[in-house]
Structure 1
Amino acid sequence: MTRITLERLQVWIYLVAIVTGLTLGTVMGDAAEVFEAALWPLLGLLLFATFTQVPLIHLREAFRDRHFMGVALAGNFVLIPLVVWGLIWFLPDDPAIRLGVLLVLLVPCTDWFITFSHLAGGDTGRAIAITPINLLLQIALLPVYLWLFMGQSFVEILAAGPIVTAFVTLILIPLVAAWGLEWWSMRHPTGAVVIDRLAWAPVPLLAIVVFVIAVSQVESVLSAIPVLGPVTGIFVAYLAAALLLGLALSRLFDLPDRSACVLIFALGTRNSFVVLPLALALSSEWTVVAVVIVFQSLVELFGVVAYLKVLPLVVPWALARR
């Protein structure tokens, strides 16, 4: 099996992991604590493996194509937050549901969007170049967005669990470690081999993580089922809005078709498991936040499969030069 095949099959792998986890968690309720203890090390390893695939030491190269970079950054960090702000008004008036949607939709993807951009015929070089900028900006801007959208509630959320600790131990430390490994790989061939091997890790590790969440949080997952209907509509609407926005920006700024595909995937895909540790660090009354985030990743994967079928037809038609 090739890595591309593995990534194509990932949505089904995650579905099997979740169903298996829910079944095991229901049958073996006393196993929850054991699995929950393994969740944090697994998350740290998952994020480290993921961050090693982001070219963190090549930030300068990201700005070689300033035209595309400017359009992509404006789309992801100015226009997409406005889209999300409009969508949350259609959600139930539940702070936990809104927080889950905000956390996951405000952070652009830095991993599988590259694979899907490539599969759609997009410019993989531009996709790779934009990932480190997307990662660093989302870490810096997410607290600002949450404060703007939630106001005083955001301050209360910060006090609802060890979020700062989770950010440092599960996001910041793996990020710095990944940067160190990439720096080492530039000087030692062994480092490059390690990074290449780690490229296989995110899909199975994420499958294990969602399995562990399903086992350890089975009651929370089952109790959250009634809210999945409304959030499904929001996530599908988001995918449609991101597609239309990507087409509009590509036409307005005269992007080539291959760059337009990258832009649409950059706008449509989100960084669900990077914000997952923050959700899991919240206190028990906020457990639905993590469920919403995991569920969004499944909806998104089905969505990007639809993108793969639609974009080769829609992009040339929408961007036809007159």
Structure 2
Amino acid sequence: MWKFLKQITKNLTVAIPVMMVAGFIYGVVADTSWIKSLIVPFTFLMVYPMMVTLKIKKVFEGGDGKAQLLTQVINFGIIPFLAFGFGIFFFPDKPYMALGLLLAGLVPTSGMTISWTGFAKGNMSAAIKMTVIGLICGSLATPFFVKALMGTAIEMSLVAVLKQIVFIVFLPMVLGYATQRFFVKKYGQSDFQKIIAPKFPFLSTLGVLGIVFVALALKAKTIAAAPEVLLNILIPLVILYGINFTLSTMVGKCFLKRGDAIALVYGSVMRNLSIALAIAINAFGPQGSDAALVIALAYIVQVQSAAWYVKFTGKIFDFSPEVA
């Protein structure tokens, strides 16, 4: 079973479109009224496993302060406002799709930040720190960004969204840390890192695929009536990720050494779409499915662009060896 889940995790570029198609077909031909009951269990399955492997203590290690500062400036000072502007421009009459684009630009870093930094031979320690800082700051900032930027365009209760953030992010974080300490105490740090921890991201993948299926099933009839909506969503996403990669690369090359620069790129371009998807589909009621559709398509753009960036890393940055 673990080998099968590992293969799925490695091939998200295929698995996510397959689940999108499956959800679309189901939504067209079957009753979807019951499917909302799957949202909470899939959300927990998606978020909790990633929290078990979160290395919170890394935040307190020094040595890469400039990289951390530049990353968070891009993450919270530039990209959310760019995503908001794109949302207003591309979806002037569809505020919840604009919300989806904003959410996709609001919660930075995921486990893939660390993975892709490793593949590109960047500074793994800096990437881990970016992941923890980005997740905590992004989760706390999201409700306030959404309220300030889109409070007049969508129905939103700040208190209600904050409660969802606690339920979606911080409760699983506490439970995940408790689980981590339990396994470390029982099996030791080494066995936890080598044997137990690598299995949890595979469980998270199941949650992601489940939520993607639900999101497409709920929007299937809308998409069937107007299939061009998918292209209309993909265009701003491709442009947004293209700008993000270009900006982060230029900042990294100008101000940081190679390892830190690569970590900055993946720490500012990789968004925690799992958290964004969970917020969209849990905190905004039935209309949140519009936002969830945008975020589901963002998975495809994000994974594909990250994979291609790794292939060109050697040309973008010099190959001077550094300790990752």
Please report how far the alpha carbon of residue 224 of structure 1 lies from its aligned counterpart in structure 2 after TM superposition.
Answer: 6.7
Please report how far the alpha carbon of residue 250 of structure 1 lies from its aligned counterpart in structure 2 after TM superposition.
Answer: 1.5
Aligned to 1:108: 108
Q: Distance in 1 between matches of 2:197 and 2:243?
A: 35
Aligned to 1:123: 123
| Secondary structure class of the residue paired with 1:33 | coil
Do the aligned residues in 1 keep the contact of 2:107 with 2:142 (CA within 8 Å)?
Answer: yes
Q: 5+ residue gaps in structure 1?
A: 318-322
Q: Distance in 2 between matches of 1:176 and 1:224?
A: 42
Aligned to 2:215: 213
Aligned to 1:320: none
Residues 170/147 of structure 1: CA separation in 2 closer, same or farther (3 Å cut): closer
Aligned to 1:306: 308
Aligned to 1:134: 134
Q: Distance in 1 between matches of 2:128 and 2:4?
A: 20
| Secondary structure class of the residue paired with 2:156 | helix
Please report how far the alpha carbon of residue 13 of structure 1 lies from its aligned counterpart in structure 2 after TM superposition.
Answer: 1.0
Deviation readout 1:142-182 (Å, 9 max, x if unpaired): 1232233224346x3228x9644533333231122112223
Please report how far the alpha carbon of residue 99 of structure 1 lies from its aligned counterpart in structure 2 after TM superposition.
Answer: 0.8
Aligned to 1:273: 274
Deviation readout 1:34-60 (Å, 9 max, x if unpaired): 432122111112100122222124321
Please report how far the alpha carbon of residue 309 of structure 1 lies from its aligned counterpart in structure 2 after TM superposition.
Answer: 2.2
Q: Distance in 2 between matches of 1:82 and 1:284?
A: 25
Do the aligned residues in 1 keep the contact of 2:53 with 2:197 (CA within 8 Å)?
Answer: yes
Q: Distance in 2 between matches of 1:134 and 1:153?
A: 26
| Bigger mean CA deviation after superposition, 38-47 or 168-177 | 168-177
Matching residue's letter, 1:68 = A
Residues 117/223 of structure 1: CA separation in 2 closer, same or farther (3 Å cut): farther
Residues 244/182 of structure 1: CA separation in 2 closer, same or farther (3 Å cut): same
Give the root-mean-square deviation of aligned CA atoms.
Answer: 2.7
Deviation readout 1:254-286 (Å, 9 max, x if unpaired): x12222222112221111120222211323344
Do the aligned residues in 2 keep the contact of 1:166 with 1:277 (CA within 8 Å)?
Answer: no
Aligned to 2:41: 41
Do the aligned residues in 2 keep the contact of 1:43 with 1:277 (CA within 8 Å)?
Answer: yes
Matching residue's letter, 2:182 = W
Please report how far the alpha carbon of residue 124 of structure 1 lies from its aligned counterpart in structure 2 after TM superposition.
Answer: 2.0
Q: Distance in 1 between matches of 2:4 and 2:218?
A: 31
Q: Distance in 2 between matches of 1:99 and 1:142?
A: 11
Matching residue's letter, 1:168 = V
Do the aligned residues in 2 keep the contact of 1:104 with 1:296 (CA within 8 Å)?
Answer: yes
Please report how far the alpha carbon of residue 222 of structure 1 lies from its aligned counterpart in structure 2 after TM superposition.
Answer: 3.8
Matching residue's letter, 1:126 = A
Once the two structures are aligned, what percentage of the paired residues are identical?
20
Alignment map for 1:55-66 (pairs within 5 Å): 55-61=55-61, 63-66=62-65
Aligned to 2:187: 189
TM-score by length of 2: 0.85
Aligned to 2:322: none
Do the aligned residues in 2 keep the contact of 1:39 with 1:212 (CA within 8 Å)?
Answer: yes
Do the aligned residues in 2 keep the contact of 1:221 with 1:288 (CA within 8 Å)?
Answer: no
| Bigger mean CA deviation after superposition, 214-223 or 196-205 | 214-223
Alignment map for 1:278-289 (pairs within 5 Å): 278-281=279-282, 282-289=284-291
Aligned to 1:246: 248
Residues 286/214 of structure 1: CA separation in 2 closer, same or farther (3 Å cut): closer
Deviation readout 1:62-120 (Å, 9 max, x if unpaired): x4421222222222222323433443343221211211111111211221122122222
| Secondary structure class of the residue paired with 1:106 | coil
Q: Distance in 2 between matches of 1:172 and 1:110?
A: 15
Matching residue's letter, 2:137 = L
Q: How many residues align?
A: 311
Aligned to 1:170: 168
| Bigger mean CA deviation after superposition, 42-51 or 109-118 | 109-118
Q: Distance in 1 between matches of 2:133 and 2:249?
A: 22
Aligned to 1:73: 72
Q: 5+ residue gaps in structure 2?
A: 320-324
| Bigger mean CA deviation after superposition, 308-317 or 201-210 | 308-317
Do the aligned residues in 2 keep the contact of 1:84 with 1:105 (CA within 8 Å)?
Answer: yes
| Secondary structure class of the residue paired with 1:121 | coil
Residues 133/2 of structure 1: CA separation in 2 closer, same or farther (3 Å cut): farther
Moved over 6 A (4+): none
Matching residue's letter, 1:269 = M
Q: Distance in 1 between matches of 2:210 and 2:162?
A: 24
Q: Distance in 1 between matches of 2:272 and 2:120?
A: 20
TM-score by length of 1: 0.85
Q: Distance in 2 between matches of 1:39 and 1:271?
A: 18
Q: Distance in 1 between matches of 2:112 and 2:33?
A: 31
Matching residue's letter, 1:313 = K
Residues 225/116 of structure 1: CA separation in 2 closer, same or farther (3 Å cut): farther
Residues 50/293 of structure 1: CA separation in 2 closer, same or farther (3 Å cut): same
| Bigger mean CA deviation after superposition, 206-215 or 190-199 | 190-199
